Protein backbone atom coordinates (compact mmCIF):
# COMPACT_ATOMS: atom_id res chain seq x y z
CA UNK A 1 0.00 0.00 0.00
CA UNK A 2 1.24 3.49 -0.91
CA UNK A 3 0.04 5.36 2.18
CA UNK A 4 -1.04 3.24 5.10
CA UNK A 5 -2.51 4.75 8.24
CA UNK A 6 -2.89 2.19 11.01
CA UNK A 7 -4.95 2.60 14.18
CA UNK A 8 -4.01 6.23 14.73
CA UNK A 9 -5.31 7.91 17.87
CA UNK A 10 -4.67 11.49 18.99
CA UNK A 11 -5.29 12.52 22.55
CA UNK A 12 -5.22 16.11 23.76
CA UNK A 13 -4.90 15.67 27.53
CA UNK A 14 -7.64 13.13 28.14
CA UNK A 15 -9.73 14.08 25.10
CA UNK A 16 -9.50 11.80 22.07
CA UNK A 17 -9.80 13.99 18.96
CA UNK A 18 -9.05 11.05 16.60
CA UNK A 19 -9.90 7.50 17.60
CA UNK A 20 -8.31 4.44 16.06
CA UNK A 21 -8.22 5.82 12.51
CA UNK A 22 -7.13 3.40 9.78
CA UNK A 23 -6.98 4.09 6.05
CA UNK A 24 -5.20 2.63 3.03
CA UNK A 25 -4.52 4.95 0.11
CA UNK A 26 -3.34 3.86 -3.33
CA UNK A 27 -0.91 5.93 -5.36
CA UNK A 28 -2.75 8.60 -7.39
CA UNK A 29 -5.97 8.44 -5.38
CA UNK A 30 -7.90 11.48 -4.23
CA UNK A 31 -9.36 10.85 -0.78
CA UNK A 32 -11.68 13.22 1.08
CA UNK A 33 -12.07 13.36 4.82
CA UNK A 34 -15.66 14.46 5.35
CA UNK A 35 -17.48 15.15 8.58
CA UNK A 36 -19.04 17.80 10.81
CA UNK A 37 -17.05 20.53 12.54
CA UNK A 38 -14.84 19.19 15.31
CA UNK A 39 -14.86 15.56 14.14
CA UNK A 40 -11.06 15.41 13.86
CA UNK A 41 -10.37 16.03 10.15
CA UNK A 42 -7.70 18.70 10.62
CA UNK A 43 -6.10 16.77 13.48
CA UNK A 44 -5.80 13.68 11.26
CA UNK A 45 -4.39 15.72 8.37
CA UNK A 46 -1.82 17.38 10.61
CA UNK A 47 -0.62 13.96 11.75
CA UNK A 48 -0.16 12.90 8.11
CA UNK A 49 1.71 16.16 7.48
CA UNK A 50 3.90 15.62 10.55
CA UNK A 51 2.76 18.74 12.40
CA UNK A 52 1.28 16.61 15.21
CA UNK A 53 2.46 13.30 16.61
CA UNK A 54 -0.06 10.48 17.01
CA UNK A 55 -0.59 9.26 20.58
CA UNK A 56 -0.98 5.73 19.19
CA UNK A 57 -0.71 4.05 15.81
CA UNK A 58 1.49 4.26 12.74
CA UNK A 59 1.71 6.02 9.38
CA UNK A 60 3.62 4.32 6.57
CA UNK A 61 4.47 5.87 3.19
CA UNK A 62 5.75 3.39 0.61
CA UNK A 63 6.33 0.92 3.46
CA UNK A 64 8.50 3.36 5.36
CA UNK A 65 7.42 4.30 8.88
CA UNK A 66 7.03 8.10 8.87
CA UNK A 67 4.99 8.34 12.08
CA UNK A 68 7.60 10.45 13.82
CA UNK A 69 9.36 12.04 10.81
CA UNK A 70 9.34 15.86 11.08
CA UNK A 71 7.27 17.72 8.43
CA UNK A 72 10.23 19.11 6.49
CA UNK A 73 11.74 15.62 6.21
CA UNK A 74 8.66 13.83 4.87
CA UNK A 75 7.69 14.02 1.20
CA UNK A 76 4.28 15.44 2.07
CA UNK A 77 3.12 18.96 1.29
CA UNK A 78 0.17 20.89 2.71
CA UNK A 79 -2.03 23.60 1.20
CA UNK A 80 -3.52 25.52 4.09
CA UNK A 81 -6.98 27.04 4.25
CA UNK A 82 -5.60 30.59 4.38
CA UNK A 83 -3.00 29.73 1.66
CA UNK A 84 -0.12 31.07 3.84
CA UNK A 85 1.58 32.80 0.89
CA UNK A 86 4.51 35.14 1.54
CA UNK A 87 3.05 38.63 1.08
CA UNK A 88 6.42 40.31 0.37
CA UNK A 89 7.22 37.92 -2.50
CA UNK A 90 5.65 37.94 -5.95
CA UNK A 91 3.85 34.98 -7.52
CA UNK A 92 6.92 33.38 -9.08
CA UNK A 93 9.05 33.93 -5.98
CA UNK A 94 6.38 32.25 -3.86
CA UNK A 95 6.45 29.19 -6.09
CA UNK A 96 10.27 29.16 -6.16
CA UNK A 97 10.57 29.47 -2.39
CA UNK A 98 10.38 25.80 -1.42
CA UNK A 99 12.64 24.73 -4.29
CA UNK A 100 15.32 27.21 -3.22
CA UNK A 101 15.20 25.81 0.30
CA UNK A 102 15.75 22.30 -0.96
CA UNK A 103 18.92 23.38 -2.79
CA UNK A 104 19.02 20.44 -5.17
CA UNK A 105 18.33 22.05 -8.55
CA UNK A 106 20.23 24.62 -10.60
CA UNK A 107 18.77 28.11 -10.84
CA UNK A 108 17.67 27.49 -14.41
CA UNK A 109 16.04 24.15 -13.59
CA UNK A 110 14.16 25.68 -10.66
CA UNK A 111 12.87 28.50 -12.82
CA UNK A 112 11.71 26.10 -15.53
CA UNK A 113 9.93 23.95 -12.98
CA UNK A 114 8.20 26.91 -11.34
CA UNK A 115 7.06 28.34 -14.69
CA UNK A 116 5.73 24.96 -15.75
CA UNK A 117 3.73 24.67 -12.55
CA UNK A 118 2.34 28.21 -12.93
CA UNK A 119 1.31 27.19 -16.42
CA UNK A 120 -0.52 24.10 -15.09
CA UNK A 121 -2.50 26.21 -12.63
CA UNK A 122 -3.12 28.92 -15.22
CA UNK A 123 -1.13 31.70 -13.51
CA UNK A 124 1.83 32.30 -15.88
CA UNK A 125 0.69 35.76 -16.88
CA UNK A 126 0.58 36.83 -13.24
CA UNK A 127 4.08 35.65 -12.39
CA UNK A 128 5.46 39.10 -11.51
CA UNK A 129 2.42 40.24 -9.56
CA UNK A 130 2.49 40.77 -5.83
CA UNK A 131 0.36 38.08 -4.17
CA UNK A 132 -1.51 40.75 -2.22
CA UNK A 133 -2.98 41.96 -5.52
CA UNK A 134 -4.54 38.58 -6.34
CA UNK A 135 -8.13 37.40 -5.91
CA UNK A 136 -8.93 34.48 -3.60
CA UNK A 137 -9.08 32.00 -6.47
CA UNK A 138 -5.76 33.23 -7.87
CA UNK A 139 -4.09 32.97 -4.47
CA UNK A 140 -5.44 29.46 -4.20
CA UNK A 141 -3.81 28.56 -7.54
CA UNK A 142 -0.46 29.99 -6.41
CA UNK A 143 -0.66 28.05 -3.14
CA UNK A 144 -1.38 24.89 -5.12
CA UNK A 145 1.54 25.53 -7.51
CA UNK A 146 3.85 26.22 -4.58
CA UNK A 147 3.03 22.85 -3.03
CA UNK A 148 3.01 20.88 -6.29
CA UNK A 149 6.36 22.20 -7.50
CA UNK A 150 8.06 20.31 -4.66
CA UNK A 151 6.84 17.05 -6.17
CA UNK A 152 5.34 15.70 -2.95
CA UNK A 153 4.38 12.05 -2.70
CA UNK A 154 1.20 13.14 -0.94
CA UNK A 155 -0.53 16.51 -1.16
CA UNK A 156 -2.74 17.52 1.76
CA UNK A 157 -5.44 20.18 1.44
CA UNK A 158 -7.42 21.41 4.42
CA UNK A 159 -10.70 23.02 3.29
CA UNK A 160 -8.83 24.80 0.50
CA UNK A 161 -11.97 26.22 -1.08
CA UNK A 162 -13.81 27.51 1.97
CA UNK A 163 -12.72 31.13 1.44
CA UNK A 164 -14.09 31.28 -2.11
CA UNK A 165 -17.59 32.22 -3.25
CA UNK A 166 -19.97 29.46 -4.35
CA UNK A 167 -19.35 29.69 -8.13
CA UNK A 168 -15.57 29.87 -7.81
CA UNK A 169 -15.57 26.94 -5.37
CA UNK A 170 -17.15 24.73 -8.01
CA UNK A 171 -14.75 25.94 -10.70
CA UNK A 172 -11.67 25.47 -8.49
CA UNK A 173 -12.68 22.01 -7.34
CA UNK A 174 -13.01 20.93 -10.96
CA UNK A 175 -9.58 22.39 -11.71
CA UNK A 176 -8.00 20.73 -8.69
CA UNK A 177 -9.44 17.39 -9.78
CA UNK A 178 -8.13 17.90 -13.33
CA UNK A 179 -4.62 18.80 -12.13
CA UNK A 180 -4.63 15.91 -9.67
CA UNK A 181 -5.51 13.49 -12.49
CA UNK A 182 -2.97 14.93 -14.91
CA UNK A 183 -0.13 14.82 -12.42
CA UNK A 184 -1.40 11.54 -10.89
CA UNK A 185 -0.78 13.00 -7.49
CA UNK A 186 -1.99 11.30 -4.31
CA UNK A 187 -4.15 13.75 -2.45
CA UNK A 188 -6.01 13.97 0.83
CA UNK A 189 -8.62 16.66 0.85
CA UNK A 190 -10.51 17.83 3.93
CA UNK A 191 -13.98 19.27 3.59
CA UNK A 192 -17.25 19.45 5.43
CA UNK A 193 -19.11 20.04 2.16
CA UNK A 194 -20.70 16.78 1.05
CA UNK A 195 -21.24 17.90 -2.55
CA UNK A 196 -17.56 18.85 -2.83
CA UNK A 197 -16.49 15.46 -1.47
CA UNK A 198 -18.82 13.56 -3.80
CA UNK A 199 -17.76 15.48 -6.88
CA UNK A 200 -13.99 15.18 -6.60
CA UNK A 201 -13.14 12.06 -4.59
CA UNK A 202 -12.15 8.56 -5.56
CA UNK A 203 -12.96 7.61 -1.99
CA UNK A 204 -14.64 9.40 0.90
CA UNK A 205 -13.85 8.81 4.56
CA UNK A 206 -16.90 9.85 6.59
CA UNK A 207 -15.93 10.81 10.14
CA UNK A 208 -17.88 11.66 13.27
CA UNK A 209 -16.62 12.38 16.79
CA UNK A 210 -13.07 11.33 15.94
CA UNK A 211 -14.06 8.01 14.42
CA UNK A 212 -14.19 6.66 10.88
CA UNK A 213 -17.84 5.84 10.20
CA UNK A 214 -17.59 4.65 6.59
CA UNK A 215 -15.04 4.52 3.77
CA UNK A 216 -16.17 4.11 0.18
CA UNK A 217 -16.50 5.52 -3.30
CA UNK A 218 -18.94 8.45 -3.50
CA UNK A 219 -21.61 6.30 -5.16
CA UNK A 220 -21.27 3.62 -2.51
CA UNK A 221 -21.50 6.14 0.33
CA UNK A 222 -24.55 7.78 -1.22
CA UNK A 223 -26.42 4.65 -2.29
CA UNK A 224 -25.33 2.28 0.45
CA UNK A 225 -24.80 4.30 3.62
CA UNK A 226 -23.96 2.05 6.56
CA UNK A 227 -26.11 3.94 9.04
CA UNK A 228 -28.47 6.86 9.50
CA UNK A 229 -25.67 9.30 10.31
CA UNK A 230 -24.04 8.74 6.91
CA UNK A 231 -27.41 8.73 5.12
CA UNK A 232 -28.33 12.10 6.57
CA UNK A 233 -24.89 13.67 6.37
CA UNK A 234 -24.62 12.91 2.67
CA UNK A 235 -27.81 14.04 1.02
CA UNK A 236 -31.28 13.66 2.55
CA UNK A 237 -32.97 10.44 3.46
CA UNK A 238 -36.41 9.11 4.43
CA UNK A 239 -35.88 6.60 7.24
CA UNK A 240 -38.67 4.07 7.72
CA UNK A 241 -39.44 0.66 9.16
CA UNK A 242 -41.36 -1.52 6.73
CA UNK A 243 -42.33 -5.05 7.77
CA UNK A 244 -39.84 -4.91 10.62
CA UNK A 245 -36.95 -3.83 8.39
CA UNK A 246 -35.19 -0.50 8.68
CA UNK A 247 -34.83 1.16 5.30
CA UNK A 248 -33.81 4.44 3.78
CA UNK A 249 -35.18 5.96 0.60
CA UNK A 250 -33.65 9.00 -1.08
CA UNK A 251 -36.24 11.71 -1.91
CA UNK A 252 -35.46 11.44 -5.64
CA UNK A 253 -36.54 7.79 -5.45
CA UNK A 254 -40.04 8.57 -4.17
CA UNK A 255 -42.31 8.65 -7.22
CA UNK A 256 -45.64 10.46 -6.92
CA UNK A 257 -48.81 9.84 -8.90
CA UNK A 258 -52.56 10.45 -8.89
CA UNK A 259 -52.96 6.84 -10.04
CA UNK A 260 -53.06 3.99 -7.53
CA UNK A 261 -49.62 2.84 -6.30
CA UNK A 262 -48.29 0.96 -3.24
CA UNK A 263 -48.65 3.78 -0.69
CA UNK A 264 -51.04 6.65 -0.10
CA UNK A 265 -50.67 10.05 1.56
CA UNK A 266 -51.50 13.74 1.56
CA UNK A 267 -49.24 16.52 0.35
CA UNK A 268 -48.57 18.91 3.21
CA UNK A 269 -45.47 20.75 1.96
CA UNK A 270 -44.33 22.00 -1.40
CA UNK A 271 -41.03 23.80 -1.97
CA UNK A 272 -40.21 24.98 -5.46
CA UNK A 273 -36.40 25.05 -5.86
CA UNK A 274 -35.97 25.74 -9.56
CA UNK A 275 -34.74 22.61 -11.21
CA UNK A 276 -36.57 20.46 -8.69
CA UNK A 277 -39.46 20.65 -6.25
CA UNK A 278 -39.52 19.06 -2.79
CA UNK A 279 -42.81 17.65 -1.51
CA UNK A 280 -43.64 16.53 2.02
CA UNK A 281 -46.25 13.77 2.10
CA UNK A 282 -48.07 12.82 5.30
CA UNK A 283 -48.43 9.07 5.37
CA UNK A 284 -48.66 6.09 7.74
CA UNK A 285 -45.96 3.46 8.06
CA UNK A 286 -45.77 0.94 10.84
CA UNK A 287 -48.94 2.55 12.27
CA UNK A 288 -47.13 5.84 12.79
CA UNK A 289 -47.48 9.11 10.96
CA UNK A 290 -44.44 10.01 8.88
CA UNK A 291 -43.57 12.79 6.51
CA UNK A 292 -42.06 11.31 3.40
CA UNK A 293 -40.01 13.63 1.22
CA UNK A 294 -40.10 13.41 -2.54
CA UNK A 295 -37.95 15.44 -4.95
CA UNK A 296 -39.36 15.79 -8.43
CA UNK A 297 -37.79 17.48 -11.41
CA UNK A 298 -39.09 20.97 -12.21
CA UNK A 299 -41.18 19.71 -15.11
CA UNK A 300 -43.15 17.28 -12.89
CA UNK A 301 -44.45 19.66 -10.26
CA UNK A 302 -48.20 19.43 -10.88
CA UNK A 303 -49.01 18.29 -7.31
CA UNK A 304 -50.42 20.75 -4.80
CA UNK A 305 -50.80 20.97 -1.01
CA UNK A 306 -53.82 18.94 0.23
CA UNK A 307 -53.75 16.67 -2.83
CA UNK A 308 -54.28 12.98 -2.10
CA UNK A 309 -51.46 11.17 -3.85
CA UNK A 310 -50.03 7.70 -4.29
CA UNK A 311 -46.37 6.85 -4.25
CA UNK A 312 -43.81 4.13 -4.78
CA UNK A 313 -40.14 3.71 -3.98
CA UNK A 314 -37.96 3.38 -7.07
CA UNK A 315 -35.07 2.09 -4.99
CA UNK A 316 -34.70 1.14 -1.32
CA UNK A 317 -31.60 0.68 0.79
CA UNK A 318 -31.81 -1.71 3.75
CA UNK A 319 -29.84 -0.68 6.83
Ligand X SMILES: Nc1ncnc2c1ncn2[C@@H]1O[C@H](COP(=O)(O)OP(=O)(O)OP(=O)(O)O)[C@@H](O)[C@H]1O
Binding region for ligand X (CB under 6 A) out of 31-39, 56-64, 140-148, 223-231: 31-39
Q: What size, in residues, is the chain? A: 319
CA distance 203 to 29: 8
Binding region for ligand X (CB under 6 A) out of 35-43, 59-67, 226-234, 306-314: 35-43
259 binds, among Mg ion, ligand X, none (CB under 5 to 8 A by kind): none
Q: Which is nearer to ligand X, 38 or 70 (CB)?
A: 38
63 binds, among ligand X, Mg ion, none (CB under 5 to 8 A by kind): none
43 binds, among ligand X, Mg ion, none (CB under 5 to 8 A by kind): ligand X
Q: Least distance in Å: CB of 159 to ligand X?
A: 7
Which residues are within 8 A (CB) of 213 and not within 5 positions of it... i.e. 6 or more apart? 35, 206, 207, 226, 227, 229, 230
In 184-246, alpha helices (H)? 194-200, 218-223, 228-233
Among 32, 42, 94, 277, binds ligand X (CB under 6 A): 42
CA distance 1 to 116: 30
Binding region for Mg ion (CB under 5 A) out of 42-50, 118-126, 270-278, 310-318: 42-50
128 binds, among Mg ion, ligand X, none (CB under 5 to 8 A by kind): none
* Cβ-count burial 232-266 (b if 16+ within 10 Å, e if not): ebbbebbebeeeeeebbbbbbbbebeeeeeebebe
Binding region for Mg ion (CB under 5 A) out of 35-43, 110-118, 162-170, 292-300: 35-43
Using rule CB under 6 A, residue 37 touches ligand X: yes
Using rule CB under 6 A, residue 41 touches ligand X: yes
Angle 98-71-62 (CA atoms, 0-180°, nearest 5)? 100
Q: Which residue is nearest to Mg ion (CB)?
A: 42
CA distance 8 to 40: 12
Q: Which is nearer to Mg ion, 42 or 78 (CB)?
A: 42
Using rule CB under 6 A, residue 157 touches ligand X: no
Using rule CB under 5 A, residue 191 touches Mg ion: no
Using rule CB under 6 A, residue 192 touches ligand X: yes
74 binds, among ligand X, Mg ion, none (CB under 5 to 8 A by kind): none
71 binds, among Mg ion, ligand X, none (CB under 5 to 8 A by kind): none
> What's the CA dihedral at 58, 62, 68, 73 to 10 degrees?
-160
CA distance 23 to 8: 9
| 227 burial level (CB within 10 Å; 0-12, 13-18, 19+) | middle
Contact between 57 and 6 under an 8 Å Cβ cutoff? The reply is yes
Using rule CB under 5 A, residue 78 touches Mg ion: no
Using rule CB under 5 A, residue 42 touches Mg ion: yes
Using rule CB under 5 A, residue 208 touches Mg ion: no
Continuous segment of H or E residues that includes residue 114: helix 107-120
Residue 84, CA atoms < 13 Å, CB-side half-sphere:
12
Binding site for ligand X (CB under 6 A): 12, 17, 35, 37-43, 192
Amino acid sequence: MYLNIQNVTKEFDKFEAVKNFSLEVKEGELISLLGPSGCGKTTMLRMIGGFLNPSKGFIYLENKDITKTPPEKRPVSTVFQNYALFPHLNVLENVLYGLKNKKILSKKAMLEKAIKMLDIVGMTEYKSRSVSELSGGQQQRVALARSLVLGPKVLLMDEPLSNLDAKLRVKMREEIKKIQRELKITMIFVTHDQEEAISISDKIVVMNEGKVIQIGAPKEIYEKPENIFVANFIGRANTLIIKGEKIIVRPENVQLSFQEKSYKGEIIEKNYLGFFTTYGIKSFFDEKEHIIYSDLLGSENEFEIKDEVFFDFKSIHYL
